[in-house]
Amino acid sequence: MDIDSDDEIPTLIEHPTTARTAARVPLTIICGFLGAGKSTLLKRILTERHGYRIAVIMNEFGDTADIESKAVNVSSPDDPAAEESEEILELANGCLCCSIKDSGAAAIEKLMQRKGAFDHILLETTGLADPGPIASIFWHNEEFAAGLGRDIVLDGVVCVVDAFFGTQQMEEDHSGSEDHIGESLKQIAGSDVVLLNKVDLVSPETLATVESLIQRVNPAAPIHRTVRGDVDLAHIMGIKAFSAPPPSLTPVPVPVSAPTPHNHNHGHGDHCDHDHADARDPNHYELRGISSLQVSCPVLSPARFDALDAWIRSVLWENRIPDPSPSSATSTSTDAEGKGETELLVLRCKGLIAMETGERYVLQGVRSMYDMIQVDNDKEGKGQDEDIDIAVSQVGKIVLIGKGLSEDVRRSLINAISGV
Amino acid sequence: MLNNDLNLRYRGKSFFNGPFGNFRAEPSAVSQKLHKAIHVLASGKLEDGTYNPFPDYAYTGPIRPVYPLSKTRIVPDHIPRPDYADDGKYQVLSQCAASDVVISGRPLSEVKRSGQPPRILTKEEQDKMRKACRLAREVLDIAASHVRPGITTDEIDEIFAHVSLYFEGYHADLNATYPVGEIDDDAKKLIRTARSCLDESIKICKPGALIRDIGKVIEPIARANGCSTVRTYTGHGINDLFHCSPNVPHYAKNKAVGTMKPGMVFTIEPMINFGSNWDEIHWPDNWTATTVDGKKSAQFEETLLITETGVEVLTAGKPFELP
């Protein structure tokens, strides 16, 4: 690439095979609409000299990704026999490109056994895939970490959206899936970061429209504007979306880069939308059945924390809000299900919860799987993650993204956490 | 009638050195997965014609495979079998072709229903489960009655037996670990710990209890006894499908989904390793699991039905006698 050689990052001394036993390899799932620029982004990562040993795994080889992988078209200089390369390409910058049909972690772990651990894994899904189930698999797989230095930890889900066609794609998204939610909306709903690509091709108005659409579907994900997939890798790698508090739920530092005419890496969602999004009626806008709901969460007593946990179990596992109260519980519980209202389905939830006792918890949920992990590590130094940096704020927040998030759901959640 | 058939099938001691085939290679209405069965300590070719098929494999413990295995038994055509008995009814998974990994597929019937909430069985289905589970217990007890010193070498002091049974469309699953002759105190403690992990976790089962709390009962018991809980095998829902939701982890920190409800059937089967290493690896036969440090391991499993008031151990046998 055309990087001045003086600026080149020196090649790192290879360490993966001697990695500290506790090291875990972060994995980022990259999804995005067909043609949005995923392949361009990956080609960039595979060929640029960034100094990381990244494995790019194309999921579901032989399916849609087959076509897309051809577009990547990267050849390895030390691989003259293309026939023998099968589906693995090892690239000059130390990266590796591999196609894989199984979405499980075992194949990737085995690959690392052969090739040495990577610094990072990027898993590309097909343009039509809902990232939720794949994220669940890797998130669940973390429970099997063996401490061998090739354990995978889910870092986050990144969605690439076409700034030019994005609005149209979201609005016209039809789906034959059971839940009638279009795949493009599932991709945005399930993302931790959105890359809004091709921003150089659209007018400011179009850009504003598509950004506001994305934010309303997923208020928790920061949006980065890009041109030809040119993004600071720090925005998509090492984001710890499944262990750190969501960025839009915490006080955010001043953005590093001011918008330029090209708006590269403009961390839009980081600094201007997390507050007024809350003021707006979250149900005011609903895109093809998908909406989001944000609730401020007061400092909780242990009893309220348990009530919140029970509420989440009911909503995520049983797809219904808990029976209102003991007094009105005489009416049969089937009432809640049989109202003919839109079915309740949460695709993604995130939250930051502060306790009276001083602890803080991060709520993460993908579909029915969720976790509330304590993030206060500074006191005893035994927290989940060493570099979580939560600015002190007394109030927590809970964000749900999904279907059927009506005013009833909102009220029920508020009741659960406030003890009304 | 089938019961008698089973008795015949399991008489004799030949089952101790086989079969190794997993249930795909060995379609069987009585899917006698006596896997991880016992293997005589041996290496290289012996005078009796047996041999170690993987002499170069870095075994973690003293046990070695002894081939040839006993012949795969053929199930007569008139016995109905689960759909996974046919090779064609498997999920097709490929793998990273340049790696040597073979990802074994799951039965299509199980794949189709994966992600679904646990099924609540009708009273009739519960009766069928009861029957299948009773038969499975009988098979295991018969197998266990043949455990005695002499069929193994001195190096082996416990054997593990696992019975999975398919009867009138429903599956049963149970396993147990038995001492062989006199065993040392560590082995006794291990077997007791494994049994106690299972028994204590069964005690919390009732409507409204959380699946994720099962592992929170098991792991502390294992740890308190200097043992660890294997993470890679989990309990599972079982009904007309052999493996279905809920997924039941045996370790404490888990994100398992689900609340127990009357009519739900699942297994709990904690595999407990001596020492702090819970990881296990497989022999090149792709079937036999051993601990990575070669230390002993013990496991017990029961199939459970959640009732209106609590839990019924469908595979219940005589009370466990401490070794």
Least confident of A168-177, A185-194, B118-127, B207-216: A168-177
Identify the residue among A63, A110, A346, A362 best suited for mutation to test binding to B, counting B beta carbons within 10 A and taking the highest: A110
Quick check: is B215 in a domain?
A: yes
Do A121 and A243 belong to one domain? yes
pLDDT classification of B49: cutoffs 50, 70, 90: confident
Q: Of the candidates A107, A110, A317, which has its C-beta nearest B258's C-beta? A: A317
Quick check: is B26 in a domain?
A: yes
Least confident of A191-200, A266-275, B178-187, B222-231: A266-275
Tell me whether A343 touches chain B (CB under 8 Å): no
Bridge pairing between strands A193-197 and A96-100: unpaired
Å between B252 CA and nearest CA of chain A: 10
pLDDT classification of B314: cutoffs 50, 70, 90: very high
Q: What is the pLDDT of residues A365-385, one digit of tens each?
A: 999 999 999 986 544 444 444
Q: What is the pLDDT of residues A79-138, one digit of tens each?
A: 433 333 346 777 777 788 877 665 567 777 777 777 777 899 999 887 677 888 888 888
Contact (CB, 8 A) for B301 and B170: no
Q: Of the candidates B100, B103, B249, which has its C-beta nearest A106's C-beta? A: B103
Percentages helix, strand, coil for chain B, rounded to the nearest 5? 25, 20, 55
Least confident of A71-85, A161-175, A213-227: A71-85
Do A305 and A385 belong to one domain? yes
Least confident of A127-131, B206-210, B303-307: A127-131
pLDDT higher at A277 or B82? B82
Q: What is the pLDDT of residue A43?
A: 87
Quick check: is A284 in a domain?
A: no
| Chain B interface, Cβ < 8 Å to A | 93-101, 103, 115, 117, 210, 231-232, 249, 251, 253-255, 257-259, 279
Q: What is the pLDDT of residue A9?
A: 54
Q: DSSP string of A37-76?
A: SHHHHHHHHHHS--S--EEEEEESTTTHHHHHHHHH----
Q: Of the candidates B95, B257, B258, which has its C-beta nearest A107's C-beta? A: B95
* Chain A residues 222-261 with a CB less than 8 Å from chain B: none
Q: Which residues of chain B are within 8 Å of residue A371 when distances are taken between CB atoms?
A: 255
Mean pLDDT, chain A, rounded, equals 74
Whether pLDDT at A146 is above 90: no
- Rounded to 5 degrees, φ, ψ at A90 are -105, 130
Q: 3-state SS string over B189-237?
A: HHHHHHHHHHHHHHHCCCCCCECHHHHHHHHHHHHHCCEEECCCCCEEE
Q: What is the pLDDT of residue A129?
A: 76
CATH code of the domain covering residue A153:
3.40.50.300
Quick check: is A227 in a domain?
A: yes
Q: DSSP string of B230-286?
A: -SS--EEE-SSSSSEEEEE--SSS-----B--TT-EEEE--EEEESS---EEE-TTS
Å between A182 CA and nearest CA of chain B: 19
Select the highest-mean-pLDDT range: B55-59, B107-111, B283-287.
B55-59
Q: Which residues of chain A are within 8 Å of residue B254 when distances are taken between CB atoms?
A: 143
CB pairs under 8 A between A and B: 67
| Residue A298, C-beta contacts closer than 8 angstroms, at least 6 positions apart | A395, A396, A417, A418
Domain count, chain B: 1
Do A211 and A75 belong to one domain? yes
Q: What is the pLDDT of residue B199?
A: 97
CATH code of the domain covering residue A369:
3.30.1220.10
Identify the residue among A100, A113, A178, A242 best suited for mutation to test binding to B, counting B beta carbons within 10 A and taking the highest: A100
- Rounded to 5 degrees, φ, ψ at A24 are -120, 150
Quick check: is B153 in a domain?
A: yes
Q: What is the pLDDT of residue A392?
A: 43
CATH code of the domain covering residue B18:
3.90.230.10
- Rounded to 5 degrees, φ, ψ at A403 are -120, 145
Quick check: is B54 in a domain?
A: yes
Q: What is the pLDDT of residue A250?
A: 46
Quick check: is A146 in a domain?
A: yes
| Residue A52, C-beta contacts closer than 8 angstroms, at least 6 positions apart | A12, A94, A95, A119, A120, A233, A237
Contact (CB, 8 A) for A31 and A159: yes
| Own/partner long-range contacts of B127-131 (Cβ < 8 Å, ≥24 apart) | B128/B167, B128/B168, B128/B169, B128/B170, B129/B170, B129/B172, B129/B238, B129/B239, B129/B265, B129/B303, B129/B305, B129/B314, B130/B305, B130/B314, B131/B167, B131/B168, B131/B170
Q: What is the pLDDT of residue A309?
A: 97
Give me the domain span that covers residue B285: 2-313
pLDDT higher at A178 or B74? B74
Q: Which of A228, A251, A279 is the endpoint of a domain?
A: A279
Q: For residues B87 and A15, what is the distance between their CA atoms, to the nearest angstrom?
A: 43
Whether pLDDT at B54 is above 90: no
Do A117 and A80 belong to one domain? yes
Across the interface, do A101 and B95 touch by the CB < 8 Å criterion? yes
Q: What is the mean pLDDT of residues A45-63?
A: 76
Identify the residue among B257, B273, B276 best suited for mutation to test binding to A, counting A beta carbons within 10 A and taking the highest: B257
Q: Which residues of chain A are within 8 Å of residue B96 when distances are taken between CB atoms?
A: 87-88, 98-100, 107-108, 110-111
Quick check: is B319 in a domain?
A: no
Least confident of A73-77, A296-300, B193-197, B283-287: A73-77
pLDDT classification of A279: cutoffs 50, 70, 90: very low
- Stated as kind and residue range, the H or E segment containing A412 is helix A407-418
pLDDT classification of A60: cutoffs 50, 70, 90: low
Q: DSSP string of A157-211?
A: EEEEEETTTHHHHHHT----STT---HHHHHHHT-SEEEEE-GGGS-HHHHHHHH
Å between B28 CA and nearest CA of chain A: 28
Q: What is the pLDDT of residue A398?
A: 93
Whether pLDDT at A338 is above 70: no
Q: Of the candidates A88, A108, A317, which has its C-beta nearest B257's C-beta? A: A317
Q: Which of A279, A310, A338 is the endpoint of a domain?
A: A279
Q: Of the candidates A111, A139, A371, which has its C-beta nearest B99's C-beta? A: A111
Do A105 and A233 belong to one domain? yes
Across the interface, do A86 and B97 touch by the CB < 8 Å criterion? yes
Least confident of A220-224, A254-258, B184-188, B310-314: A254-258
Tell me whether A66 touches chain B (CB under 8 Å): no
By residue count, chain B amounts to: 323
Select the highest-mean-pLDDT range: A264-273, B8-17, B129-138.
B129-138
Contact (CB, 8 A) for A248 and A222: yes
Q: A37: exposed, middle or buried (C-beta count within 10 Å: 0-12, 13-18, 19+)?
A: buried
CA-nearest residue of chain A to B252? A143
- Quick one: tokens of A414? 């508020």
Contact (CB, 8 A) for A185 and A217: yes
Do A241 and A348 belong to one domain? no
Whether pLDDT at A291 is above 60: yes
Quick check: is B118 in a domain?
A: yes
CA-nearest residue of chain A to B249? A143
Q: For residues A278 and A1, what is the distance between their CA atoms, to the nearest angstrom?
A: 43
Quick check: is B323 in a domain?
A: no
Least confident of A255-264, A392-401, B271-280: A255-264
- Rounded to 5 degrees, φ, ψ at A355 are -105, 155
- If you ran DSSP here, which 8-state letter would residue A345 be given? E
Domain count, chain A: 2
Q: Which of A243, A260, A279 is the endpoint of a domain?
A: A279
* Chain A residues 126-165 with a CB less than 8 Å from chain B: 133, 139-140, 143-144, 146
Q: What is the mean pLDDT of residues A330-352?
A: 66
Q: For residues B294 and A341, what is the distance between their CA atoms, to the nearest angstrom?
A: 57
Q: Of the candidates B94, B101, B249, which has its C-beta nearest A110's C-beta? A: B101
Do A255 and A322 belong to one domain? no
CA-nearest residue of chain A to B234? A144
Across the interface, do B93 and A102 touch by the CB < 8 Å criterion? yes
pLDDT classification of A332: cutoffs 50, 70, 90: very low
Select the highest-mean-pLDDT range: A106-110, A124-128, A409-413, B184-188.
A409-413
Tell me whether A79 touches chain B (CB under 8 Å): no
Q: What is the pLDDT of residues B286-301, one digit of tens each?
A: 667 777 777 788 999 9
Q: For residues A175 and A179, what is the distance between their CA atoms, to the nearest angstrom?
A: 8
CA-nearest residue of chain A to B93? A102
Do A25 and A147 belong to one domain? yes
Residue of A319, A303, A306, A307 lying closest to A400 (CA atoms): A319
Q: What is the pLDDT of residue A249?
A: 57
Q: What is the mean pLDDT of residues A188-213?
A: 94
Least confident of A214-223, B32-41, B187-196, B227-236: B32-41
Least confident of A134-143, B122-131, B249-258: A134-143
Q: What is the pLDDT of residue A387?
A: 40
Do A41 and A116 belong to one domain? yes
Quick check: is B321 in a domain?
A: no
Helices (H), A260-406: 268-272, 276-279, 302-318, 334-337
Give me the domain span that covers residue A336: 290-418
**Dihedral through CA B53, CA B59, CA B61, CA B62, nearest 10?**
40
Q: Of the candidates A100, A133, A313, which has its C-beta nearest B96's C-beta? A: A100
Across the interface, do A369 and B253 touch by the CB < 8 Å criterion? no
Å between A177 CA and nearest CA of chain B: 14
Do A274 and A318 belong to one domain? no
Q: What is the pLDDT of residue A328?
A: 44
Contact (CB, 8 A) for A117 and B109: no
Q: Which residues of chain B are within 8 Å of residue A101 when distances are taken between CB atoms?
A: 93-95
CA-nearest residue of chain B to A115? B99
Q: Of the candidates B101, B232, B257, which has its C-beta nearest A368's C-beta? A: B257
pLDDT higher at B16 or A263? A263
Q: What is the pLDDT of residue A88?
A: 74
Residue of A190, A175, A246, A183 lying closest to A390 (CA atoms): A246
- If you ran DSSP here, which 8-state letter would residue A394 be given? S
Q: DSSP string of A352-364?
A: EEEBTTS-EEEEE
Amino acid at B92: V
Q: Of the candidates A87, A139, A317, which has its C-beta nearest B96's C-beta? A: A87
Across the interface, do B96 and A111 touch by the CB < 8 Å criterion? yes
Q: What is the mean pLDDT of residues A67-80?
A: 36
Amino acid at A295: V
Q: For residues A151 and A108, what is the distance between their CA atoms, to the nearest angstrom?
A: 10
CA-nearest residue of chain B to A85? B98
pLDDT higher at B101 or A311? A311
Least confident of A192-201, A213-222, B44-53: B44-53
Do A313 and A242 belong to one domain? no
Across the interface, do A107 and B254 touch by the CB < 8 Å criterion? no
CA-nearest residue of chain A to B101? A107
Q: What is the pLDDT of residue B290?
A: 73
Quote ipTM for the complex: 0.72
Mean pLDDT, chain B, rounded, equals 76
Whether pLDDT at B140 is above 80: yes
Q: What is the pLDDT of residue A341?
A: 58
pLDDT higher at A147 or B319? B319
Do A294 and A370 belong to one domain? yes
Q: What is the pLDDT of residue B174?
A: 94
Tell me whether A83 touches chain B (CB under 8 Å): no
Q: Which residues of chain B are within 8 Å of residue A102 when distances are taken between CB atoms?
A: 93-95, 103
What distances in angstroms separate CA A294 from CA A250, A308, A412, one per listed residue? Answer: 14, 14, 13
Q: For residues A90 and A98, what is the distance between their CA atoms, to the nearest angstrom?
A: 9
